[in-house]
Chain A
Amino acid sequence: MTSLTETRYIVKNLYKQLLYLGRISFLGVENVRNKAKPQFMANAHLTDLNEINQCIERTRYVIKEVEAMHRFHKYRTLKKAYDPEFQKINDQFDIEKFTLYNNNNNSNNNNNSKQ
């Protein structure tokens, strides 16, 4: 990373990668663009390489966070759908409306009913 043209290329790629993650994940590409674009534009004027590199590092960190979040969301959704642990609450189909607290309550109720 020596020249501004190179960092420019890297930054563009990072932005594209963020959008790609938005497209494949539950976040949605619009959502990610609306959040990321202003932040990218806010730093568009930077010319100091050190500062730019700092921003690049931060973006890489954010990308890793988004990846982890997507992975986690997917894992939880699939676990909820297929794990025996969740079988009791699976019959309640409007899962979105429940918070974790409610879910626990409901599974407890079901347990009681079995006893």
Chain B
Amino acid sequence: MTETFVTDSAQKTVRTTCPYCGVGCGVLARPEADGSVTIAGDPDHPANFGRLCSKGAALGETLSLRDRLLHPQIEGQEVRWDEALDFVAERFTAAIRQFGPDSVAIYGSGQLLTEDYYVANKLMKGFVGSANIDTNSRLCMASSVAGHKRAFGSDTVPGNYRDLELADLVVLVGSNLAWCHPVLHQRLMAAKAVRPDMRIVVVDPRRTVSADGADLHLPIRADGDIALFAGLLQHLATRDSGSDYAAAHTLGSQAAILAVRNWDLARVAEATGIAERDLSTFYSWFVGTENVVTVYSQGVNQSATGSDKVNAIINCHLYSGRIGRPGMGPFSVTGQPNAMGGREVGGLANMLAAHMDFTPDAIDRVGRFWGAKRMAQKPGLRAVELFDAMAAGRIKAVWIMGTNPVVSMPDADRVRDALKTCPFVVVSDMTARTDTAELAHVLLPAAPWGEKDGTVTNSERRISRQRPFLAPAGEARPDWWMITEVARRMGFAKAFPYNSPGEIFREHALLSGFENGGKRDFDISGLLAGGYETMDPTQWPVRETPTARLFAGGEFYTPDGKARLLPITPPPPITRVPGRLMLNTGRVRDHWHTMTRTGKTARLSAHFAEPFVEIHPEDARRLGIRKASLVRLARGGREAVVRALVTERQQPGNVFVPMHWTGQFASSGRVDALVAPQIDPVSGQPALKMSTVTVEPWRTALHGFFVATERPRLDMDYWAWAEAAGGVRGEFALKEEPAYWEGWIAERFGDGTDVQRLSVGDRHAGRRSFAGVRNGRLAFALFVSPDPVLVAREWVVGQLEAEKIDGIRILAGRPGADMPDRGPIVCACHGVGRNTIRAAVRGGAESLDAVGAATRAGTNCGACRSEIATLIRTETAMVD
């Protein structure tokens, strides 16, 4: 465990950490002689003990240099690093001189490493003299930070992952853990398999796959969470007068209870839309179970009342003393690999550094530590406010690091427009193919995962090393290096002497312990004794030893050492706007954020290969939306066009659209363009899950599907493409039929003379298929029809790699009865389709293990096991 490298054959296996969600799984990466990289879960990492999810398992497929940004660019021209860095320093310095420190900003990412974050934060808050450094973590868990601080006096996650396994009741609130934190969900399900008495409750407006694996699903109305937990607190309070723990270590319980005194079952049921019987079950389970963990995520955080939701949850745990001991506690799981690390260095506009705020003492302390004369004196602009200020012309220069606000921010078109008007935009990223990078004046090639070196902190406060196993490609450099170089050029060379991430981490650790004396939760000075290179995954605080859990003894980081219960009254229910539906957003299982990495792999692109809207059958019927048709969602002149996924998993009146699709992958799938820029006033976190939109059929003359070995020109009225084995696949639609198909196709799919053409046309019915064959192999195929075109897509995609093809079957878009179509991919790891799984179930494989033995589905990462379980249920039910 203390070895950094595991020697395995001739190649070196490197211990590193996954770059995706906040579970922070350990990964073993071994570069192979052929240039590929073998990826495995690290059996010794305490986050995953060897498990990986579909995304993690496919990491090796995301490392190609295709679409990588390899050289610095100014206005699209490649330049030397010196030139680029001089230019950035000069423009930032000029803006500060002319318009003041608050005219510049850095917008970072939860995917930056702690060292990158530390240097960026230091530059802005200590030397530029502005706190205008915020990050996409604002979109992710700012409400949890605010809630933690209000309750505990510090941004502290009290427990750890083991608590989910030790709990007798696990409540998932606004968390589709099965898809968004799959390895943690696997740990939970494995624990439940061993102890079937353990109960899982899922609180989610949608019946997610996480809900499929739960004992109780509470289909809550959007933003009904406060009412639910107000009811729980009221329920707790009427059954006992509070724990000894609450009496000894908390303040505010009386006021908190007073605030919820009228929230009986009936009222909660009305406010949440949950049946009284189910509420009663949940409350009695909670009351009757000592070991309760409440896991919450974006469904809680991404709300205009997110901070209050967090405190409503924490209130219940504090009041009942269910905190700090094994198997209990409120548990915020973060969406990003290093959201926590960013919080630790102060990489949010309202924090200073090392969990210190903008108090005079802290400003003085950090200023002395850094040797900084121009300390920022007040919090800076938070994400939404930052882009508002930019739109108003107050931000003259911005540096965006490893994130894509044109896609991920609410009112994303406005963010795009703001960036267009900003006089100087620097983007450091691994690719120039992002909707944000397209607007940059300067592009800086950042070293991505696999090439960069540093630390990340996962959701259980565990700091792990991300280690490089590949040489930087082209001229790519780590972000900390770029920031350091710019800082030096801005005249701060003395304060930015760094030559390695280890030096930065050491300074960060020193600051955490600087004049701490146990007053601040974040203290990792204990790590200074050990080696950085060989550092094992470690939970902070680390004074002498790592700390697995906090607050069992009731010592909080408030001035009086007591935690606070907050008097939180549920807000009035959201008023429904007639003719509008509530728009929820979120993740899918196999994609990550804006798909710059997961979009490069065919395996991960197969699960959902186009943007979609989940809509309840009743709404679909009422609005005239047919299954698999195209739908237009709109709000205030902004629109998105996505595919209809009609499902009872969705509540009537609500729709769900995934957050991942960008202008790179779809014509109009950027759902955040529709999201109102409403924020939680406490945390500044945008309410990304509750905008109201109009929903209507998007009428089109023709629907189409294509596969091709090369990405075609995409200029159709609707299009969405995805990576496929051997090429790409895509959906499209045309408002008007081309007058001359052959020419239309040649312009988009190529007109090589070495391509033999195949076609079938039923002009009267408007259906056509076309294909091109080069050297006996499929070069492209496309299918058009007035209705969403009926094609065995997975089979057609598979033909891109077929040695021999049958033109008739290609044009038919299906394999025929003698060659079964595996169907839509369920198991991304082994590429097992739904039809294959169903056939196995019909053949008698009626358990997860049996299906796994028969098809291999679900035997690797397990992220699809909930879906397989559902298939087994529906298939066996049909047989009965």
A and B physically associate:
no
Instruction: Mark A residues whose CB is within 8 Å of B.
Output: none
Instruction: Mark B residues whose CB is within 8 Å of A.
Output: none
